[in-house]
Amino acid sequence: MEIKRNASAHWEGSGKEGKGTITTASTVLKETQYSFNTRFADGVGTNPEELVAAAHAGCFSMKLAFNIQEAGFTATSIDTKAVVALDTNSGSISSSKLTVTASVPDLTKEKFDELVADAEKNCPISKLFNTAISVEATLA
């Protein structure tokens, strides 16, 4: 089975002075503004790297939850922050750093670390990246 999701972007003008909008099929984002300033400075709106970071954090958290469930445990909470770095010299994503804190009753640190490593490697967004991915994990 294949699940397809979609989003669209509209851009007007040059790279630096132009502006655009992003819309997702779910309409969670609907004509959400992005521009040079939101990507390379601190303008109001979103940017591709922020959206990729959100996707990576969400994907990793869900994969970790499935791993924990398959190991016979249930997470009380999983909080993940992703920091995606854009190398402006090469124009490529140079890294995605995940920081996760999870509360899982009765799960050992050793088993937790094993499940985190699997989630880091096997969440679909991690598989999409062609960059270094690192995780800092805390079992609360």
- Answer whether residue 129 shows pLDDT above 90: no
Q: Is the pLDDT score of 133 beyond 80?
A: yes
Residues 97-125: tens digit of each pLDDT: 999 999 999 999 999 999 999 999 999 99
Q: Could you tell me the domains of the chain?
A: 7-40 (no CATH), 48-139 (3.30.300.20)
- Find out whether 100 and 78 touch, Cβ atoms under 8 Å: yes
**How far apart, in whole angstroms, are the C-alpha atoms of residue 7 and residue 31?**
11
Predicted pLDDT of residue 66: 98
pTM exceeding the 0.85 threshold for the entire prediction: yes
Residue 40 makes CB contacts below 8 A (sequence gap 6+) with: 88
Using DSSP's 3-state secondary structure scheme, residue 9 falls into strand
Question: Which ranges of 83-129 does DSSP label H, i.e. alpha helix?
Answer: 109-122, 124-128
- Residue among 113, 116, 121 at smallest CA distance from 61: 116
Q: pLDDT at residue 131 above 80?
A: no
Residue pLDDT, tens place only, 14-48: 999 999 999 999 999 999 999 999 998 888 899 99
Q: What is the per-residue pLDDT for 125?
A: 94
Residue among 114, 109, 85 at smallest CA distance from 98: 85
CA distance 46 to 11: 14
Dihedral sign (CA 57, 58, 60, 61)? positive
CB 131 within 8 A of CB 98: no
